[in-house]
A = this chain, B = another copy of it.
Amino acid sequence: MQKRKMRMGMIGGGLEGFIGATHRKAAFLDGHIELVCGAFSSNAQTCINTGETLYLPKERCYSSYIEMIKKESLLHKDIRMDFVSIVTPNYLHYPMAKLALEHGFHVICDKPLCFKVEEAKELEALCKKKDLIFALTHAYSSYPMVKQARKMIADNTIGKIRKIIVEYPQGWLSASLEKTKHAQAAWRMNPKTAGISCCVADIGTHCLNLLEYITALEVQYVCADLSSFGEGRLLDDDANVLLRLNKGVKGILHASQISQGEENDLNIRIYGEEGSLSWSQMRPNTLSLKKQDHITQTYSVGGAYMEDIAKYNTRLPAGHPEGLLEAFANLYRNFAFCIQDKENNQTSSKENLDFPGIKEGLRGMIFTNACVHNSNSGEKWTKL
């Protein structure tokens, strides 16, 4: 059976930002997805300029997401988009995803999912009712080494887990960029567009997703100390959190946007009774396994010894670095293959179903709420 490329419509992602381009490159890399339309900006000219650069015909550069979803839904099925990619500020995720799902389009959406638990549940119900697929771009979890680590832990390589440390330090909001014309800083520090949290919602949730994905554990209690170091900030720019997980596991999660000089050093260390694993996003192609009184072992992406699930998400031979775009592309590819499968009435493989969705989005929201609540209260532990 001859399959076809999946057709993507994008909401947000005008030329001036970087996140839209990131999503597009990730979608294009493997050649399974083509961009067919977009509502790239609330500014009509920006939208058209963006579409032109992307070789789109004018008639499929829409002036609003509502117009796009409605008009596309009226096109012939051989032409219209198969899914929308939502890459806008946080507060728009929910209404956009909802409208797309209601019109029968699959959705891939930047994180966080939305603001309220009820919204998330509504989206979940819509997906089920309409038999649609929803992906949330916690892309860091799609690195091959992250999948390798998850498999090794499932295989009990390090024994029963005792302690986890997960960090995401950034420094880009050290200065109060939101007071300048820095668009990304401005919407992230504005409660109307970002929600109740900046740092925890934006990057703390990446920590949570990474931790829960790799270990298959659940954070149950948080004890949080959130800060707003930037003068006049209404939302947090730094978060230090103690964790208690199921099965008696303890942990620390900290995320920061004011850690001067840090780029994007998301990293995790997992200590079990028999060994430990450590991985860092900025050196994503290696994974370290340590056992007391044993020689340290360093896994390398592309190695013959890698697990099948890691190999499935690897493109190059060992020693040729892959990066975030490739991780992102794994997520897009898996999502696209699942849509293809659905179109062809096939059951998707476990490998292709392996991407974050509404469930993971819901976890992030619950975690964010718990951290904000705990930090504002005098209570030591808040249950998720």
Residues of A within 8 A of B (CB): 2-5, 18, 21-22, 24-25, 28-32, 35, 52, 54-55, 158, 162-163, 165, 169-172, 174-175, 223, 225, 227, 229, 238, 240, 242, 244, 250-252, 254, 256, 258-265, 269, 271-276, 281-284, 289-300, 302-305, 315-326, 378-380
Contacts and interface: CB of A to CB of B under 8 A. Distances in A.
A299 B295 contact: yes
B250 A227 contact: yes
A316 B323 contact: yes
A271 B292 contact: no
A223 B238 contact: no
A252 B250 contact: no
Nearest to A265: B319
A261 to B, nearest CB: 2
Contact of A29 (B29, B175, B273, B316): B29
Contacts of A170: 319
A290 B304 CA distance: 13
A229 B323 contact: no
A327 to B, nearest CB: 9
Contacts of A242: 223, 225, 240, 242
A320 B28 contact: no
A22 B318 CA distance: 13
B293 A296 contact: no
